[in-house]
Chain A
């Protein structure tokens, strides 16, 4: 008697499952629900219609344009032979050719894994220079103490409350505000239709999305440990936040900063950021940021730029690009490590040309201090 586990239907089933596994291995998070949808779709289409099968795979397995590209690439590779779906014996598909994409994981809360007494060795973060041909150099990132990290987290939360909220359109029960007829009527029914209490609702402040642009060029190296602590604290302070690192180009490092705990995040960022030693082109980086991520900015976004303002490019370009961004976002805050230095004035090219667009100029000390954020004085 023939083994049913080796029949054409079983081979086809395994072949189909193998495709989903391949898609997953390319970084597309295909859940069981999507897999079931895909399997149902295969029964609703003509499997011999390759283009239709391809389109159905994208419609059911992908959830973003990046996913769609990965599914298409996997499809072309996996179903490369016309009769593969029905005739080929199942085999482990190749998983190497496509570069896995990085996705932001479900947000874990940062753990208190800092300064717990373990003598943590410095984390090597390659930072570096402008020249694209220069070799990458690793520089130690000295972990902050638990006290320092806590102070920064408190500061970041204070910053979020003061700077990263805006009047929302959603309303909530409040002793002030307009009369809420719905609640008033509901309450009056309990008293036989008598309006004993008027209920009120007022607009609820909305939390802004925090977008952090972190300058990791050579001139910022002496401050990088402290600023990474601030970046991590800012990211942790808001449910909606994104982090980008830039020197001569922009990279999103949100997923790495979100790793569980400060130290693991630092290690992940060290692995992620791959640049050379030297200067920065803030204007060009802002331009690239606008082009690639500008559409995700909105009136609920507070943009935080962490940079000393030393720019190898055209200083005016920084002002122009910030003006372009400023039209879209709620606030722009610039954090420079030099605000507390005696005689500091915002005269560095990029900073000077950006002053009109900046809502607040701060230093890392403002986050470490228990006092309210100081007002901006150019």
Chain B
């Protein structure tokens, strides 16, 4: 095994992630494997809280590469994502050299790499060549369409152009994970450049296994009980926001902190806020509580 994305098989990826307590389905492991082998970005879509971001963290830890995270938001632009200039230092340099250097020399000086602030995308391309970094572009659907367009050059050629410095090519192609919660459709141009995986809610058996690994103090029976209850919550009609695995883990951790060893109506009512993050859903489930036991 090579811990830099040059894996021999999807099963190897699955095992690697399992070593980080991330239980990937075989299709997801295959997508990650191919992303590493083909050097293509991997677009992961799915319900919130189902492990899209976690997989990048697990990969970075497993491979020893640096995790470089770009959290997307509305209004994100090249300054925040790619590079910016260190203005205070530039101003200081201008004041120091304005009497000794010509304007051309001054311009060359203040727009040199010395005054360049590297943002996540540039760091991913310009980073350490020894270890393949993992670039996580998180929640791309929150960014503007213009930013998607800006990403195209980066994701297809793994290079960026800085007018003052020229084109910078990746020393080593990073492993790129892009996540989206599907709050809007992404452009076809972006999707064309990516491999694709969709992460769904886990079935109860898998969720139980996740709980057993992530919250080992729970105990097998309690983990099964929690997984079954969460499954019933997800199946409840009319919920605006169904709980993801992240919420299940939070809830389980809270129950452990409260020294609970099983679910009862009172405990569920008191701690449901860990699982349900919508006021109306919370009200609905408190007024019409679900059965604690599946039997």
Residues of A within 8 A of B273 (CB): none
264-321 of chain A: CB within 8 A of chain B: 287, 294-296, 298, 300
Question: Inside 8 A of B38's CB, which chain A residues have their CB?
Answer: 37, 40-41, 44
Residues A65 and B183 in contact, CB atoms below 8 Å apart: no
Using CB atoms, name the residue of chain B closest to A184. Answer: B87
A192-B103 in contact (CB<8A): yes
Q: Which of B77, B98, B183, B196 contacts A296 (CB 8 A)?
A: B183
Chain B residue with the shortest CB-CB distance to A194: B98
Which stretch from A51-59, A336-344, A361-369 is at the chain B interface? A51-59
- Contact between B31 and A55, CB atoms less than 8 A apart: yes
Please give me the residue from chain B that is nearest to A298 by CB atom: B183
* Contacting pair A33 B94 (CB below 8 A): no
Cβ < 8 Å to B, chain A residues 63-115: 63-65, 67-68, 106
Q: Does A62 contact B (CB under 8 A)?
A: yes
Measured CB to CB, the closest approach of chain B to A41, in angstroms, equals: 5
- Whether B258 is near chain A, meaning CB under 8 Å from some CB there, is no
Contacts A170-B75, A185-B91, A189-B107; is A52 near B191 (CB within 8 Å)? Answer: no
Taking CB atoms and an 8 Å cut-off, the chain A residues in 181-214 that contact chain B are 181-182, 185, 188-190, 192-193, 206, 209
A324 CB within 8 Å of chain B: yes
A341–B87 alpha-carbon span in the complex (Å): 62
Q: Which of A65, A188, A206 contacts B198 (CB 8 A)?
A: A65
- Check if A44 sits within 8 Å of B37, measured CB to CB: yes
The chain A residue with its CB closest to the CB of B198 is A65
The reply to whether the CB of A377 lies closer than 8 angstroms to some CB of chain B is no
Bound Cα distance from A68 to B25, whole angstroms: 15
Q: Mark B5-20, 1 if CB is under 8 A from A, else 0.
A: 0000110000000000
- B45: chain A residues within 8 A (beta carbon): 64-65
Determine whether the beta carbon of B198 is less than 8 Å from that of A37.
Answer: no
- Verify B85–A37 contact, CB threshold 8 A: no
B26 touches A52 (CB 8 A): yes
Q: Does A45 contact B (CB under 8 A)?
A: yes
Q: Which residues of A contact B195 (CB under 8 A)?
A: 37, 59-60
Question: Chain A: how many interface residues by the 8 Å CB criterion?
Answer: 47
Q: In the docked arrangement, what's the CA distance between A65 and B124, Å?
A: 29
* Contact among A31, A34, A46, A168 with B75 in the assembled complex (CB-CB below 8 Å): A168
* Contact string against A for B residues 97-120, beta-carbon threshold 8 Å, 1 for contact and 0 otherwise: 010000100110010000000000
The one of B144, B184, B196, B238 in contact with A62, judged by C-beta atoms closer than 8 angstroms, is B196
Pairwise interchain contact B98-A55, C-beta atoms closer than 8 A: no
CB neighbours (8 Å) of A67 from chain B are: 196
A-chain residues with CB within 8 Å of residue B90 when the two chains form the complex: 185
- Cβ of A169 within 8 Å of any chain B Cβ, yes or no, is yes
CB-nearest residue of chain A to B43 = A63
Please report the C-alpha to C-alpha distance between residue A31 and residue B192 in the assembled complex, in whole angstroms: 8
B74 on the interface (CB 8 Å rule)?
yes
B182 near A52: Cβ-Cβ < 8 Å: no
- Chain B contact residue count (CB 8 A cutoff): 51
Bound-complex Cα distance A112 to B192 (A): 32
Question: Do the beta carbons of A59 and B37 come within 8 Å of each other?
Answer: no
A189 is contacted by which of B75, B106, B192 (Cβ under 8 Å)?
Answer: B106
Q: Which residues of A contact B30 (CB under 8 A)?
A: 45, 52, 55-56, 59
Known: A52-B26, A170-B144, A298-B184. A182 touches B79 (CB 8 A): yes
Decide: A182 near B40, CB < 8 A? Known: A52-B26, A65-B198, A189-B94.
no
Cα A46 to Cα B79 in complex, Å, equals 44
B157 within 8 A of A: no
Residue interface mask B184-223, A partner, CB < 8 A = 1 = 1100100111111110000000000000000000000000
> Which of the residues A37, A46, A295 comes within 8 Å of B183, measured between beta carbons?
A295
Contact assessment for A182 and B73 in the assembled complex, using a CB-CB cutoff below 8 Å: no
Contact in complex: B87, A59 (CB < 8 Å) = no
Measured CB to CB, the nearest residue on chain A to B195 is: A59
Contacts of A193 in B (CB 8 A): 91, 94-95, 98, 106
- With most chain B CB atoms within 10 A of its CB, the pick from A68, A185, A188, A300 is A185
**How far is B182's CA from A68's CA once the two chains are assembled, in angstroms?**
15
B191 CB to nearest chain A CB (Å): 4
Contacts of A189 in B (CB 8 A): 94, 103, 106-107, 110
Q: Which residues of chain B come closer than 8 Å to A170, judged between CB atoms?
A: 74-75, 77, 144, 146
Inter-chain contact A185/B74, CB cutoff 8 Å:
no
Interface-central residue, B38, B42, B73, B146, by most chain A CB under 10 Å = B38
Contacts A37-B40, A168-B75 known; A182 to B94 CB distance under 8 Å? no
Q: Flag whether B27 is at the interface (Cβ < 8 A).
A: yes
- Known contacts A31-B192, A55-B10, A60-B195; A185/B31 CB under 8 A: no
Q: Would you list the 3 A-B pairs with minimal beta carbon distance, nearest first? A: A169-B75, A193-B94, A55-B30
Binding site for B on A (CB under 8 A): 29, 31, 33-34, 37, 40-41, 44-46, 51-52, 54-56, 58-60, 62-65, 67-68, 106, 168-171, 181-182, 185, 188-190, 192-193, 206, 209, 240, 287, 294-296, 298, 300, 324
Task: Supply 14 further A-B pairs (C-beta < 8 A) apart from A37-B195, A189-B110, A294-B240.
Answer: A33-B192, A37-B40, A44-B38, A52-B26, A58-B197, A59-B31, A63-B192, A64-B198, A68-B198, A170-B75, A192-B98, A209-B184, A298-B183, A324-B240
